[in-house]
Structures are given as C-alpha cells and as structure tokens.
Amino acid sequence: MATGKVVVEKVEGKSTATSCFSKYPLKFILPRKVAPAGTDGDSISCEFTIGDGCTAVITTQSSTKVYKAIGSKCSEQLLEARIGSEALLVVVPDPVTCFSTARYYQKQIFRLVSDSNLVLVDWITSGRHANGEKWDFDFYKSINNVYLENDHPLFLDTVLLEKRNIQSIAERMQDYHAIAMVILFGPKLRLIQKQVQENVKNMMSEQLQISYGFQRHKSESSSRNGFMKPEFIASCSTFGPEGKGVVIRIASDSTESVYNFLRQQLAELEPLLGQSPYA
C-alpha cells in the first residue's frame, strides 16, 4: 500500500484535491507537499492522479535530508503520477542532501497522454558543508521515467553516485557542490522551453568565453597553460516526438546559484500557477 495518495480533480472549475491520504513518515499539507527528513531505512511511496485540465504543484518546505545509514539499510522514496489531458503537474522540490555514509534510492514515474504537461526538477547537493561533509555519502540513485500512452517510453534517466575504493565521489565531482536536472514537457510550456534554451545558450557562451580568455591570458603570461573551470555549467537538449520535451542539466559550485537559475528560468510559470517557483 502506498504511503501517500493524492487525487486532483476539477470542482466548480478549480483544481481541487478530492482525495488525500498519508501516513508516517510522510505528511501532506495542502496545498503543498512536505517531504520529511529521511531517517535510516525510511520507505515512502506516493501516488498522484492529476485529472483532465487540472493543475497541481508538488514542493517541499526544505531540503530532503537523508541521515547516516546503519549497515546496508537504504532510505527510499517512490513516486508515481498520472497526468490527464491538458493537465499540468509541476514538481519543484528543494534538493536532496545526504549526510555522511547515507544511502538513498529514489524512483519517480510519470504517465502522460499526448497533451499532458510536466515540469520536473530533481537535484542533489554535496552534503552538510558546515560539518565538513562533501559528497561523503555511500550511495545515491535517482531514476526518472516518463511514459506516454500504452507505457511508451518517452524519457528514461538514471543518476548513480556510489562510493568506490579506487576513486571517491568527491574526487569525481571535483569542485561542484550541486547537480540538477529540469524537464519541461507539453504544449503549455512551449514558450518557456524556447526561452530557457536561448537563455542557457547565451549563458554558457559567456561562461566559455571567460574560461577561454583566462586560458589565453595564462598562456601569454607563463609557459604553463591554465584553464578556469566554469563555476556553473548548464546544457539543453530536446526529446520526444517532434522535440516536445526539453531537458536541462546543471552542475554548480554552489546551491544558491542553482536556486537563482531555477527562479529565473521558471518565473514564466507564474501565470499558470499563481506564483513563481522558488520565489
């Protein structure tokens, strides 16, 4: 049985949660979802049904904290959502923050029809910097799968970060402290998709020019070549029939810069939601 279940339907022309259930360790507070801190071995399973023409937003009040694991126990969070015709689901949580030795597994499945709309943000930070922790957890796996009618795969994605004997997660991630993925899919989001793609193109062009200029300066001033690694990296690509979907991938040396990026790029959602995400 699912730990939580929400059904959103049109009532007198408004998107309304007509059914809402949750049990420990999950708690829903309408109109927002509140995800609890992940204790050792917690397992959370959520189901959402967004009816035709409805709009729903899933967010959190703070980062999802995954505490230290005992033995091989792994905290789990599973989410499955069905999005109806001309409906919009926006999933904009704060990042996952894994404590030292934590183990975390997440799987999110979204089932759409051809004119459904989805905004999904999925991201993780390097850990508790105040405690000197940087990518110090043992295991993190996040799966995001999006399907069209008849379970036709539209977007399948997995991120796996696992401690290894040869090279630590921190060594592989180098100076970056946050990684994120943003999915934009559906006819209601076409203008936002176009704007975000243009913004990312301009942003990275500027970043690479700065890095190239630094490298050229170092080459002219000394015999050793230098390269200034960008503090913020973002890329865009399309997916799905006729490129109806856009995925943005981000790596940054600070959590705040990712927040700033999300605020700016998702601000155009305000007319659809009544408020801008991460405002």
d(CA 161, CA 143) in angstroms, rounded, equals: 12
Residue 183: predicted pLDDT = 98
Burial 171-181 (b: 16+ CB within 10 A, else e): eebeebbbbbb
Residue 207: predicted pLDDT = 74
Residue 216: predicted pLDDT = 53
Q: What ranges do the domains of the chain cover? A: 4-30+39-211+229-273
How much is the pTM?
A: 0.86
What are the tens digits of pLDDT across the range 155-184? 999 999 999 878 899 999 989 999 999 999
- Say which amino acid occupies 64: T
Residue 210: predicted pLDDT = 61
Residue 235: predicted pLDDT = 96
Q: Which regions in the chain score pLDDT beneath 70?
A: 1, 24, 29-41, 210-227
Q: Please report the beta strands in 12-151, taking only residues with DSSP state E, as ranges in sequence order.
A: 14-22, 27-29, 32-34, 43-50, 55-59, 64-66, 75-83, 88-92, 96-98, 103-111, 117-125, 139-148
